[in-house]
Structure 1
Amino acid sequence: MDRKLIELRLEEWNGFKPNISSIKEIKTLPVDKSLKELEEELSSVGININDIYYMGDNFFPFQYRKDFTIVDLDVLSKDEFINLRILEQRETQKKRLIKMLEAGEFYSFFSLLEKRIKMPLFQLFFNDIPEDSLFKIFRYVYSNIEYNFTDICPIIIEKIFIVRTKSKEYQMSLKRLKEKTNGSSNITIYRGESTRSTPLNKALSWTLDKKTAQFFANRFGSSGIVYKAKVKVDNVLDYIELRKEEEILVYPKEIINPRRV
């Protein structure tokens, strides 16, 4: 990638506001300082208060986001940034990742990112990634995080599954799927849904394994729903084994006779 384009993407990323509250938006600060005092203290060590977010009543209530770095903090003070050498580590990581982007080493770039920012950055760099690498990188990113397809731009999803046919990873997974299902034209799939899951009519993620579906239906302590359905092998978008979940990706319109079990 060209250095100017990388800098443009980094500027866009730093301007991106995550779906959490900035510390400046909190009416009652969870620290023994005024906002002005806190801003001055952090500024003295090179920290912009606009890069600090509040995560609520968590073990790590504060989060620092800048460039390609995310750091969870239990204490918000300049000493914390100094003692943890956060700025030095941020700059080291930034330089390393920029070198990878300049060299076109996108897979390595995404492998080093903190998992919470892998998919947002994949979407940001989507048009910069060579088409012959798109599906491989998407599979890697998707398999290393928990991310609903409803949070991904539909245009990106559509293109990903168009270019997948050129991918060696897809061809190999399709071959393994056909071997596993003994060449059947239709296969049985399952989906577990909890109260936090994507609705069935929008869901792309299923599994060959009923126990995996049961796990996802009940993993948040609630009694969820397990669905059983059929799908034509030729309509499967991908078969992902990386998480040992026997995951089947398929568009909702291709699901045949879904029912609760």
Structure 2
Amino acid sequence: MVSTPALLIENVSVAYAGKPAISNIDLSVDAGEIFGLMGLNGAGKTTLIKSILGLRNQDTGQISILGQEKLSPQSKAKLSYLPEKFEPPWFLTGMEFLRFSLQLYKQPFNKNEMIAAAQALALDTDALNRRMNTYSKGMRQKLGLMGTMLTGCSLFILDEPMSGLDPLARSLVKKMINEMRDKDRTIFLSSHILADMDEICDRVALLHDGEIRYVGTTDNLKKQTHTDNLEQAFLEFIEHKDVA
């Protein structure tokens, strides 16, 4: 029996003022998969993510989340999103923000679980009782990840989740992402830190000039381009699109 994809994108195109931003995008992301989206600035990553979230209507095609149309209440309830530039409500404490995030998804709030999650990301637990206008960029990012990943959703969309994080925090976030996959959650992430994607992604898609140029494992992309790491493979692929 074929399982329903966590995210299905079929023939999606979006144009701004008649100029194509993304064209004929087809992607199928399996449940329980860590899937990475790679691309240069301006390649169309933000447009694609906005289309998935329903923040931008596609001109053609359709997008489904766990078998439901993307704008349906059922699909919205299964998706949690961390934006690239996460700006928390400054007037809330960290703990108040986490309580609010879980309430949005009708999830029970357990203070001890929040403290444990903060410790897992090396976030000072005392900071949870402070207003977020006292937080550093890295602290805000950790809290945003907690508020996203603890919602009990089936699909997480993370846009530059490692932004502002030091090497230790990045390692801990990757551990958290892998643990979510082990719980059969699906993670769709976009990042410019290709070494992290190489380490944790089951598959990746390469978006270039608004078109999907590659879908598959990072190992296969490196093999096709005769390179040793994902950054080299990415650059080689977009410079020589006819690589065999």
Q: TM-score, normalised by structure 1?
A: 0.29
Specify which structure has the higher proportion of strand.
2
Specify which structure has the higher proportion of helix.
1
Query: Relative contact order (alpha carbons < 8 A, sep ≥ 6): 1 or 2 greater?
Result: 2
Q: TM-score, normalised by structure 2?
A: 0.31
Larger radius of gyration: 1
